[in-house]
Amino acid sequence: MSKAGALEGGYVCAPYLHNGSSSKLRETLEKSDYIDDMYFVTATFSEDGSAYFPSRTNTYLLARFKDQKQTMKEVERYKQDKPTFVFTRDDEFFERLSHDKLNLVSVYYLEYGHSNSDLSDLAMTVAKRQRVRRAASGSLALSSTESPKFTFPYGDNLVVLEVSSDNSHQSDNKYCEKTRREVARKGITLTNLLNLSVIEKIK
């Protein structure tokens, strides 16, 4: 696995509200060479996620970036009242070639922290799940014109899974839940924060 903090890439998940800021951010990211790919997604927040982030929407722009500094600069330029989520990759567990399209991005947090041994066990367990094409640990940054009412205390303990398949979103959600339970059998508690279901690939 990579050294913690050594990776530049990650994901930006910005609310798409059909306003000027949303449109300008989309245009900027779409033509930027530091964005690898971009999607329209629907967000399903868990009960815990809904409690921590009451100001949310249903449709988001999801972009995978390789330049965190430049991405944050654009996110701050076009920030809105509903928060934009920026997930940075601290440690990539694995990435494998998949010919299936990206269908779901599932975000979890480790409530009780983690050791290197825990992360190794987590990575090996998730690697056995063939639909998961990429898995990484990471951190969360928020950008909004309004201060959040609640502080999310687990922002440095995230785990992000990319799932590729031609199955329904419901099927892949169940697949991720089964993956979470298999990780739990190792004594590692993953709590779901949100699931991002891909509607359309933009870039």
Q: Are 189 and 159 contacting, i.e. CB atoms less than 8 angstroms apart? A: no
The mean per-residue pLDDT over the stretch 134-139 comes to 94
User: Taking all residues of the chain, what is their mean pLDDT, rounded to a whole number?
Assistant: 91
- Which residue range is the domain that position 51 belongs to? 10-201
**What is the per-residue pLDDT for 198?**
98
- The domain that holds 50 is classified in CATH as 3.30.70
Residue 5 maps to a domain? no
Expressed in angstroms, the distance from the first to the final Cα of the chain is 28
Task: Give residue-wise pLDDT tens across range 29-42.
Answer: 999 999 999 999 99
Residue 28 maps to a domain? yes
Among 191, 137, 132, which residue's Cα sits nearest to residue 167? 132
Q: Treating both helix axes as pointing N-terminal to C-terminal, what angle do 20-30 and 68-77 enclose, rounded to 10 degrees?
A: 160
Q: Say which amino acid occupies 183.
A: V
CA–CA dist 137, 146 (Å, integer): 27
Q: Are 107 and 195 contacting, i.e. CB atoms less than 8 angstroms apart? A: yes
10: left (phi over 0), alpha (psi -120 to 50) or beta: left
Task: Give residue-wise pLDDT tens across range 43-68.
Answer: 999 998 898 999 889 999 999 999 98
**What is the per-residue pLDDT for 149?**
79
C-beta atoms surrounding 184 within 10 Å: 12
Task: Give residue-wise pLDDT tens across range 102-118.
Answer: 999 999 999 876 778 88
Residue 2 maps to a domain? no
The mean per-residue pLDDT over the stretch 73-93 comes to 93
Residue 123 maps to a domain? yes
Q: Are 202 and 12 contacting, i.e. CB atoms less than 8 angstroms apart? A: no
Beta partners for residue 94, in sequence order: 135
Residue 36 maps to a domain? yes
**What is the per-residue pLDDT for 5?**
43
Q: Are 45 and 193 contacting, i.e. CB atoms less than 8 angstroms apart? A: yes
CA–CA dist 183, 124 (Å, integer): 9
The mean per-residue pLDDT over the stretch 82-96 comes to 93
Among 159, 26, 10, which residue's Cα sits nearest to residue 85? 10
Q: What is the H or E stretch that residue 60 is in?
A: strand 59-65
Residue 167 maps to a domain? yes
Task: Give residue-wise pLDDT tens across range 114-126.
Answer: 778 888 999 999 9
Q: Quick check: 166 pLDDT over 60?
A: yes
116 or 70: which carries more pLDDT confidence? 70
Q: What is the count of structural domains for the chain?
A: 1
pLDDT class of 3 with cuts at 50, 70, 90: very low
**What is the per-residue pLDDT for 122?**
94
Residue 159 maps to a domain? yes
**Residues contacting residue 144 through CB under 8 Å, at least 6 positions apart:** 55, 79, 80, 81, 82, 83, 84
Residue 146 maps to a domain? yes
**What is the per-residue pLDDT for 2?**
39
